[in-house]
Structure 1
């Protein structure tokens, strides 16, 4: 996934276009990253007016979309704004040809207009999720997800969730280490767990106190991933009962403590498989899995390939 098409149109969000440019900027080979070819594409090559008074100059027309490995549609300022009919048609054609298509924030409405959300999971900013579901009733809109996708069609929630999706697409195509390198350069997390619910409403003072305690627990857990950890033990670190801890942890992160632990163990395993020559059994032990069998089952279910296959595809000593 090296050829990336960034779709431009009047009213596209400047932030989203900047995210795509940061993630897939082409001059990153000096730090060991793949060479990306990022092209700005629009109906015509005339300058496009983005939000905030900025303009951008397309380099290609929509004909280039079928050349791309990935097409990213940024969010739009107004989901009710007219969409040039050439854009949905070009997106459908490119997807039929095998190109992955992704949207950021309200860009999901563009994918909906192209019919690409029908029969597939979808998400947009939580404040517009009901409108997306009403406008495209055949889409399986999940108002809680940070991002979701199937069959080569991806969508993300508002603003920062677009970064999450872009890094996920990089991680899927090029491995966790490449995604982590890009995330470090952007000073952002390589991945976040949970869903949109954690960002909607909560009393500020309570969240700050709880968040500090839970943050310390998560940091300690990451240092001790090599051994079994229980909710009761984590709760003890935070000075809470297991029930209170689990409830507050889920409210803060959008996911359960055990689910979070599993995701962190898988992420650590991906790093070890890419960076080291440790055996799969040794990786399982260092990541706190009870057995290599359990590790293989969880890894394959979560990542989609076996640990051995993942190492074959993404080990850093392999040629890319």
Structure 2
């Protein structure tokens, strides 16, 4: 269970990315019924230390020893990451953390610390697309994917730019504390509650100018009609495009297909309903557009690696309604 979070801060840390971890895990929201994390920001080099933008320095209350008790160690971006080395005590602490079952999560160039610790060897990972060639060159055994928002490889989670760091944090909260907690934190932060890690970091090609609505105008309608059959033809008509053009633009703008987008939203809705209602699995399946419990179980297993009943028991306790 995620309860204890530490941020490892090196000289030249990027302040904005450091702030992501402070906002998601360091803000006490227990008065609203949300989990409170034991949270610490730790200097692992100098203390006080300079930030990457050079506008101010930081004096932090903890040193590297605080990393030893963390369930999660967070690694913010570092402006000098592609060319610098990291202190051996930090790299050793990261390896000990993974060995004892803790998780590590990087934002942007924070992935270079994981690479230096050997934790990206043989693992799929990501970083900001600008740093991806350097990460791949410096750590050739890392399986670098520059086209995604974040990658969850067991104990190691890597994310791309600033906003995707928020996505990765909320993804982890959703895994550990459930959809309702993640959604509430997202609502407080005024950010989307979920973006798939496989979504594209950016649109590779500028979209041609058009007098038609973009696919973004259709996403809200899709989310409100998850219990209905949704076809590309329907969506294309709403977007005033041909089906072929709509499918192409949807992929360019979201990084996935309409079918996969709808499927993931249906699973997310099912998670929320299983956590917050006593409806049967059959009823939940109907409200989410899966039709029946068997279909819901199939997609739950493929997406989350668990069954709806097991998921419900995890987040609502052994006395939760099943069937």
- The two structures have a TM-score, normalised by structure 2, of 0.92
Paired with 1:71 and 1:135, the residues of 2 have a C-alpha distance of 22
Out of 125, 131, 135, the residue aligned to residue 132 of structure 1 is 135
Aligned pair count? 316
The separation in 1 between residues aligned to 2:217 and 2:203, in whole angstroms, is: 20
Q: Where do 5+ consecutive residues of structure 2 fail to align?
A: none
1:73-111 CA distance string (max 9 Å, x none): 001112212322221121112211211011110000110
Distance 1:284 1:276 in 2: 13
Distance in structure 1 (CA, Å) of the matches to 2:28 and 2:318 = 21
1:7 corresponding residue in structure 2: 8
1:281 is matched with: 282
Equivalent residue runs for 1:218-229 within 5 Å: 218-229=219-230
Higher helix share: 1
SS in 1 for 2:39: strand
Q: After superposition, give the CA deviation of every residue in 1:279-318 in whole Å (9 maximum; x if it has no partner).
A: 1110000000132111111012112221111111223998
CA shift for structure 1 position 48: 2.1
Alignment match of 1:184 (pick from 187, 207, 211)? 187
Does 1:230 pair with 2:231?
yes
* CA shift digits 1:176-208 (9 cap, x unpaired): 1101111111110011235335345425855xx
Inter-partner Cα distance in structure 2 for 1:227 and 1:43: 53
1:142-153 correspondence runs (5 A) = 142-153=145-156
Secondary structure of 1:72 counterpart:
strand
Q: Is the 8 A contact 2:50 2:56 kept in 1?
A: yes
When residues 228 and 203 of structure 1 are mapped into structure 2, their CA distance, relative to the original with a 3 A threshold, is closer
Alignment of 1:30-45 (within 5 A): 30-43=31-44
Q: How does 1:64-75 map to 2 (within 5 A)?
A: 64-75=66-77
**How many angstroms apart in 2 are the aligned matches of 1:139 and 1:188?**
30
1:66-105 to structure 2, matched below 5 A, reads 66-79=68-81, 80-105=83-108
TM-score with structure 1 setting the length: 0.93
Per-residue CA deviation, residues 246-275 of structure 1 (Å, 9 max, x unaligned), is 100000111111000001101111111111
Q: Which residue does the alignment assign to 2:200?
A: 196
Superposition RMSD on alpha carbons, in Å?
Answer: 2.0
Are the counterparts in 2 of residues 102 and 153 from structure 1 also a CA contact under 8 Å?
yes
SS in 2 for 1:119: coil
Does residue 119 (structure 1) correspond to residue 122 (structure 2)? The answer is yes
Question: Partners in 1 of 2:293 and 2:229 — Cα distance?
Answer: 14
Matches within 5 A, 1:139-178: 139-178=142-181
Q: Mind listing any 5+ residue stretches in structure 1 that lack a counterpart?
A: none
Q: Could you tell me how far 1:26 is from its partner in structure 2?
A: 4.3
Distance in 2 (CA, whole Å) between partners of 1:197 and 1:159 is 11
Matched residue of 1:149: which SS? strand
